[in-house]
Structure formats: structure tokens, C-alpha cells
Amino acid sequence: MNKNRKFLLFLSVICLLVIMLQAEKVSSGPATEIVITGFLEGSSLQTAGADIGDILIEYNGQKIKDIQHLGALKEGVTTERVDVVLQRNKKLIKVNIPAGQLGVYLRAFYPDHKFDRDAVIIPDIGRLDWNIGMENSFLAAVYRIDEKLGSNMSYQDMVGISGYGFRLHFFDGWCPSSPDATCGYLCGDELLQDLGYDFTTYLLEGTEVDEDYQDALRSADELSTIIKTSIDNGWPVIALDLIEVPEWGIITG
């Protein structure tokens, strides 16, 4: 395996290593569709008749702009029950459910991004999606990159060799980021090293980090330059918070 393959790695605040790329969101404007991709056990929306593939249109009488907006609408409810409007095969369906958690997995679709004529794009890296059977978004990002550049190891083997499938976490209180492969024991670092990759970690300036990571801090402008240079050299970038939920993604252009 070529030990000189490189890509830049960005890790999260709670997990000691972080970048927040909120200034350069992947999407622009409201989502065109917010689609149900799965249900949690006991989902109130599924019980009311929703199905996978349904599009969420309205919540409590207001048109839903994106997943973040849906969260704000749910928090603003003052009644015990709310109306939710779904679209299925161009037909609108109204259901009435208890206020609170919907119990669904959602995917937001946005208008296609328009690239500049001189944009540099790293081709042939597979898309990330909740429907690909890879529940850990960091490991899934590594899998997609290794699928193109490396040994094409299976996702299941990556869960094993990284140690992610065997670790235990103990917290004084609940840590919502504990499922992250870069939280606690750094399974992400272990995996990249085992696969033979060189990588560099950067953090957004202003983040509270341990003294060991002070040298990795960079301003937003510096990070933008680093990302562009990485792409120009053909090295994909793994980053956190590229969408409206704290999950990992890949910058390829």
C-alpha cells in the first residue's frame, strides 16, 4: 500500500479535535424535499400512517424549509397534538400526531450546486447516505475515500480494525457525541493509520481545546485556503458539520 497517500482530517469540538465549516454550507437556500428514509421503533408518525419515501410538507400549519427549521417548529408547539402534512405520489396526506419527536430518519434534498467553470473536483468518490447501511458517518467517509484510493476494505472490517466495535465509554452524565468514532478513544486516528494514510488534523480558531492541540488551530480564512489546496492536490477532506446535523462528510471540490 502506498504510504504517501494523504488527505486532511477534521475532527469535532466535543471529541477534542474540530472544525465547524458553517460559513461554507454545502446547501444554499431551503430544501426542495425532506424525505422520510426510516422509522424508529414506536414512531408516532409511522403509527399515524406515514411511509418511507413520504415528503414532509407542513408541521403545525407551517411549511417546512429544512430539517433545522422543522426542529424549531417542534420546539415552538404549545398544544398536545399537531397536524403534519405529507406528500405521497403527488397526493397530500394530513395526519394528526402527539407533539414532540416524530421518530423518523430524514434526508433533505437541495437544489443542485452550480460549480464555477474553473472548479477542481475530485471524481468517483461515492455519495454518503443513511440508506447505504453505514451508520457511523466518519467510518463511512473513510470507506468512501478508501474505496477510490486504497484497498477497498469493507465497512464491517473498518469497524473492527479501528476498535470502534469494541470500545466502552463511561461518562459523568450523557455525552450526545459518544457514537462518534472520534470521541473518547480516537478510532478515526487508529483506522487511518492502519490503512496506511498520512493525514493532518486542523481545528477552527477559537475552539477550546487541550494544550496538545493548540498548534492545530487555524482561522476560517486559513482553513478555506487549506481545503482548496488539498482539493487542488487531489486529497479529499473529511469534515464535520457540513450539513444541518453534526455528522461527517467529504469535501471533494
Instruction: Say whether pLDDT at 85 is over 90.
Output: yes
Is the separation of the CB atoms in 230 and 7 below 8 Å? yes
Nearest in space to 57 (alpha carbons), one of 69, 65, 46: 65
Structure confidence at residue 2 as a pLDDT band (50, 70, 90): very low
Question: Which cell numbers hold the place of 222?
Answer: 486559513
* Per-residue model confidence (pLDDT) at position 158: 93
**pLDDT digits 0-9 by tens, 43-66:** 999 999 999 999 999 999 999 888
> 3-state SS of the chain: helix, strand, coil percent to 5?
25, 25, 50
Edge-to-edge strands, sheet with 248-251: 217-218, 198-204, 6-10, 237-240, 248-251
Please report which confidence band the pLDDT of residue 11 belongs to, taking 50, 70 and 90 as the band edges.
Answer: very low
Q: What is the pLDDT of residues 15-38, one digit of tens each?
A: 323 333 333 333 445 557 888 988
Identify which of 161, 130, 155 has the alpha carbon closest to the alpha carbon of residue 142: 155
Percent of the chain with pLDDT over 70: 83
Sign of CA dihedral 58, 68, 101, 99: negative
The residue with greater pLDDT, 85 or 199, is 85
> What pLDDT, on a 0 to 100 scale, did the predictor assign at position 13?
31
Place of cell 494544550: 211
Residue 93 pLDDT? 92
Average of per-residue pLDDT values in the chain: 80
Q: Give the pLDDT confidence score for residue 244 in this predicted structure.
A: 58
pLDDT of amino acid 112: 67
User: Worst-scoring range by mean pLDDT, 73-82, 88-97, 198-207?
Assistant: 198-207
pLDDT tens per residue across span 164-219: 989 888 877 777 677 888 887 888 888 988 888 888 888 888 777 677 778 888 88
pLDDT tens for residues 98-120? 988 888 888 777 666 677 888 88
For residue 249, the surrounding DSSP H or E stretch is: strand 248-251
170 CB burial (10 A radius; 0-12, 13-18, 19+): exposed
Cell of 45: 408518525
Q: pLDDT tens digit string along 119-150?
A: 888 888 888 877 788 888 899 999 999 998 88
Average pLDDT over residues 80-97: 92
